[in-house]
Amino acid sequence: MNKNKVIEAVQERLFEMQDIEYRDFHAKLMPTINKDVIIGVRTPALRKFAREYGKTADAKIFMTALPHTYYEENNLHGFLIEGMKEYSQCVDALDQFLPYVDNWATCDLMAPKILKKHLPELELKIDEWLASDHTYTIRYGIGMLMRFYLDEAFKPEYLNKVAGVKSEEYYVRMMTAWYFATALTKQYQAALPYIEKVRLEKWTHNKAIQKAIESYRITDEQKKYLRTLKVK
């Protein structure tokens, strides 16, 4: 099947799963995306389709058809990457796809399990992503540090990597805040000096504190102290 036929077949299948009410609701969560490119497919249904579709020869053709037209096509692409079993293939696919990611939801849904088995190599790739000039590539790099490197693989220098990201983009700053809020819940003693010394710009600093205080993993005493560190 040629590329155009593959695209048509995927789009036809996605529209068969369309839920208009869900589309209208979901569109409100993504102000950067034109509602006209959101079909309205619920995530469980899309994941199931991705598992089935990933076994077909057409899936490889579909993944070369960039940029995609619809939001759900992008999410399908992300789920197909998630299903990859080889590290190098997965990273190559991410490098090809990330420049086309245009929203936080597609960016954040991709968490291939194979990456966790290759953390030393992935760290070098994350450095490349953090140095990108593309909003969602940077966000993805921060997200990977948050997902895979705040527990047993944690090193204090990772905090410095994220604090060193300079961007005026809302979705980068929000992910930075989310990262430090999570770091405060998992690596409190290491992360706290970044808040005490105001290593982040004001908005991100305060948002990190806000999100940390909302966590049940932060003690009441810690929350009380963090509130005193907000920048006015």
On whether the CB atoms of residues 98 and 137 are closer than 8 A, the answer is: yes
What percent of the chain has pLDDT above 90?
Answer: 98
Distance of CA 128 to the CA centre of its chain: 16
Buried b (16+ CB within 10 A) or exposed e, 20-55: eebbeebbeebeebeeebbbbbeeebbbebbeebbe
pLDDT digits (tens, 9 = 90+) for 121-139: 999 999 999 999 999 999 9
Query: Is 49's pLDDT higher than 90?
Result: yes
What is the pLDDT averaged over residues 32-47?
A: 96
Query: Is 1's pLDDT higher than 90?
Result: no
What is the pLDDT averaged over residues 83-102?
A: 97
What is the pLDDT averaged over residues 36-52?
A: 97
What is the pLDDT averaged over residues 186-191?
A: 98
Instruction: Give the pLDDT score at 210.
Output: 98
- Local confidence band at 170 (pLDDT 50, 70, 90 cut-offs): very high
What is the pLDDT averaged over residues 202-221?
A: 97
At 111, phi and psi to the nearest 5? -135, 70
Mean pLDDT of the chain: 97
Instruction: Give the pLDDT score at 70.
Output: 98
Instruction: Please indicate, yes or no, whether the overall pTM of this predicted structure exceeds 0.75.
Output: yes
Query: Is 149's pLDDT higher than 80?
Result: yes
Instruction: Give the pLDDT score at 191.
Output: 98
Residue 131: CB atoms within 10 Å: 11
Instruction: Give the pLDDT score at 156.
Output: 97
pLDDT digits (tens, 9 = 90+) for 58-69: 999 999 999 999
> Which residue has tokens 């994350």?
126
